[in-house]
Chain A
């Protein structure tokens, strides 16, 4: 006869306010096999864990049921505790009476009935538990970082610094991401290039970092510590070992009509180009859609002028397969498209621009050499008006429901920089709320108002139209309860940001979860903010949610710390709750192998002794090192041969029976 102990946690008032814990204790004592039951305010505390250990020793318990929060929260805690008291950790079951009961119910009587039912189910299950022994798996000492913006660069640098190999896979021809496009950065106004490009150089020079630019991850398989990735290195049509980055090809290329991506399309670039002067790697790339040699087999000028003989029109994509212990998503963001916001006239007037475009117009390395001019005619603007929250905090379906977080600060920065460089220019800012929490942030915004006389107007802009050669904004001035018309030479839209379009694809490849806005979800919003719920997958930068540069860099380093922690381990403890096949029942149909997401199931032809009948049969065999215990095979198996240790069919049926029994 098994001896079961039950421990009911109050979780302070989280459980005890909605569930009568004393009544639960009395009810479970009536269950067959329960020799001890008690309740305690915080079972997870040291005092609570001591109660559990003492009971295991005193009553010689064979199984333990904890009625508490979700097993995702504290299953590991209680298993470890059982081990300390000499009980196999897999003889512990959790009845989730917080998330599944007290948090979602208001009525104490009904909550208590449900808590008792959940406790009884766990008791029924634990009676069928068997002691399990965890196995071990190795860790590949190499990390993959997907995305080469400031987040990916920082994470890679920190991991490399700890002595581990890192590959950065970046889809565009250079690393640097959005930050490379910025002019100056808040709140200290140091220039983005001055603080970013040295990091880019460090990443390129670090012997532990390999840059795979103009490349994309196509497929990922495996599991924590043992991932396999397939990476496509797109053809650059340039031999990167030979190219010196001299730029002779760029000046000779006759096809100069490509939109310059780095300058947000504000000017054009040739078909063969280096994205910008500080690009890493500083080698050219050919746009195969634009190049007339590749599309029409004419021209070939760049090849004749290239003294390094680096140009290869026949270059093909290259497929690389690598193994990794950990993978970091750092896919970043982009500004949203403004085609649903016609009222601002972005598509009608060249002088209506986005904030990122303004960064390029003010940047010394930008299309105007840093001289702020009206894009329409190159003249000097006298009034510039900013509109905040363009597409942010928008639930109408045109924009994004969230606050993009960075716009209040960069708009204050833009306003201040313009007033500083061109004191004759009047600057207006239309705002809904100014949100500037952060060290020295609100002071920064107030400086724009108090020292630089930027005119902040509370209210949104209804429409922007052209009249007599300038732009007119019809807007609310809410504090004066007026509708006002403001003349302006340029309008700058603080455009909402969204997750990069690659995020969704990367998330599904990594089996990492994403939210409705395509931001990757963290394992715990507060306590595990840089890990994905999928083991071995980590999150760095804006792919997890909007954040500015200081926050991105902190998170990137935190992410690196977690990766280093994982890669430092000699062995990983594997989950013993894996699938196994009953060879006598298996009919070799392959259903299980077809549904297995981890490729853990193979087939062998074996001599089977089926009640005296000896024959060769094709049967399923599970590789326990690969199996992650998801249970898909147990559901797909038509003959009931597949079963899961720790979650066997009989255990689940016992739980169902216990819940249904009155």
Chain B
């Protein structure tokens, strides 16, 4: 097990190098650069040359890449081309916000999806099942920017309510922070809930058809034990896989919701970096998101061994 984890962590190195090269190449290929963003309409050849020299963009591309990666391996992700602020502390600050949003969304998704998914599989083809399936389909198919806008309009029209506009951290003021986070988390959670619900239902149905469930029931075990200890636990592998992927995706994938609700998370930082062609910011954010994604997946794989003792990585 320990060897496995070390092996997986070592695999991070080629993954991150690959990602960093890809980002570097893509940033070079896309039109526009940071200097034209800084100078706007005032751009002249002299000003451009000056800013390129100031930001080190006049050096050969290979040299630019290696000077960046050389610092990155020591944990120095460089400074933003625009503000001059170091990138890494800002990423950590933003990560906490995005992680909180992602976790809240997950909790909301689980609260909605798991009980309903189980219920739906047990009452297969009943009215409840049909309703749950329609709700799940809605959750999956309504784009979150649409539901976000509708919810904002609904609350403002019906209750004259708008969530606090000034962002406050979780540890500064718990109540206000929750008030800011709950709506966006609910929207993200409801989208996740749709697919988790569907996965729970189909996975449960498959397990419930197995012979050992019949054996458990024949043994006279109470229905509660049959469902939770035997059926649900054994059907949870694909659900955990799905949730793991969703958490990874939420790290950078909350950008639309962050923007609508003005939440200063990692997604918005990445987007601002991209639109300003702020290479150190984009590179830092994408690498960090890739890192989180890999770690979350590793945790999921480790979790498998607890859910299903037959799985082992030796």
Q: A and B, one complex?
A: no
